[in-house]
Amino acid sequence: MSGGTYSTYDLRIRAVRAVVDECLPVTVVAQAYGTDRSTVHRWMARYRRGGDAGLWRRPVSGRPRKLRGVDGDALRRIVLAPASDYGFETDFWTTRRLVQVFQSQLGILVSKQTVMRRLHEAGLTYQKPEREYFELSEEERQEWIQSEVPRIRAAVRRHGAILYFQDEANVSLTALLGKTWAPCGQTPKQGVTGKRGGVSAQSAITPRGELLFRLHDKRIASQEVIDFLSQMLTHHRRRHLVVVMDQAPPHVSKKTSAYIDSQPRLHVFHLPKYSPDWNPDEKVWNHLKHQELKGHQAKTKAELKTLTETKLARMSRDRELLRGIFFRCCIA
């Protein structure tokens, strides 16, 4: 929300519940959600007065609106339905498409600016969607919540264990480019290497914002997963670890499973298939690639490995950043 003037209803709910249910300090929640402490305190006051309903955006006075017949719920029903239901080729909504729908179906002629304002007031923001795989099974995910989550919590309590979510990623030599200011009509240039390749990496994050990581010069296979799990056990010599990871082949191979079975302090659980959105560690890589390494100038794998290690080490020292990353994940 940083840099903007609107907060969504969902964001306000999640922020308040982080304070109420997770007992996180207001300062930590404010930083995690890109706002200031006074705003979070104001949301808390509204929540105490009216519960969840108190966090809805309040109506304001003014001239009657052209879209006064379309309330927030009606607007949300339109936007949350696929745009293809209204005759468009793809499922994505733009203000231009909404203007066309209002004109063709409701006979209301409005500007894109008006539509944008009403979208914000309805608690909607313009976002890049996360991938959701066609193969995803919602039944399997719900079964996982009902059966595996209690087992994970029980293992943490029984062994006094530290809970980690693990994931791996490939960091590419081809940098992601951000935006910058330039004269109108003159597209700026950014030098990048034309070489292919990258660095493989693994990391694991805890709810408290602890981050462990390991870099590799080759593709991650079973042995690399075992090496990282061994590193985690060595880092916590006297503690049990509960590690949640996805079902990638190196994670469920016979070799990896045999190693896990041989370690009495290691308890591994696997996420449902095709559920990267349920892994908080996935957000670590998203932050690294889109923030820390955006527009990087590494020209070789060696330079990229050094740069990636430096950035991850810096992130590992920023507990507030990592706690925010963890608790923005829906499963957290």
Q: 147 and 36: one domain?
A: no
Same domain, 47 and 109: no
Check residue 114 and give its pLDDT.
85
Mean pLDDT value across the chain: 89
Asked whether residue 148 falls in the same domain as residue 42, the answer is no
Q: Parallel, antiparallel, or unpaired for β 241-245 and 211-216?
A: unpaired
Do 233 and 294 lie in a common domain?
A: yes
Domain assignment present for residue 33? The answer is yes
- What pLDDT was estimated at residue 305? 96
Asked if 168 and 276 sit in the same domain, the reply is yes
35 and 98 part of one domain: no
Residues 314 and 210 in one domain: yes
Nearest Cα to Cα of residue 176 among 192, 155, 163, 200: 192
Q: Is 181 exposed, middle or buried (0-12, 13-18, 19+ CB in 10 A)?
A: exposed
Task: Output the pLDDT for position 331.
Answer: 67
> Does 61 reside within a domain?
no
Whether pLDDT at 182 is above 90? no
Residue 34: per-residue pLDDT: 85
304 domain-assigned: yes
The answer to whether residues 116 and 263 belong to one domain is no
Task: Quote the pLDDT of residue 261.
Answer: 97
* CATH code, 298: 3.30.420.10
In terms of domains, do 16 and 103 share one? Answer: no
Rounded to whole angstroms, what are the CA distances from 44 to 31, 40, 324?
Answer: 16, 6, 18
pLDDT in the model for residue 2: 47
Instruction: Give the total number of structural domains in the chain.
Output: 3
CB count within 10 Å of CB 183 equals: 7
CA 329/CA 291 separation, integer angstroms: 18
pLDDT at position 65: 58
Supply the pLDDT for residue 329: 81
Whether residues 19 and 153 fall in one domain: no
Which residue in this structure is represented by tokens 């890109």? 34
**Structural domain contains residue 149:** yes
Domain boundaries, position 306: 138-178+196-327
Instruction: Please indicate whether residue 176 or residue 258 has the higher confidence score (pLDDT).
Output: 258
Model pLDDT for residues 149-168, shown as the tens digit of each residue: 999 999 999 999 999 999 99
Whether residues 94 and 222 fall in one domain = no
For residue 255, the one-letter residue type is: K
Amino acid sitting at position 5: T
From residue 103, how far is each of 38, 99, 125 by CA, in Å? 41, 6, 22
Q: Structure pTM?
A: 0.67
Amino acid 153: pLDDT: 96
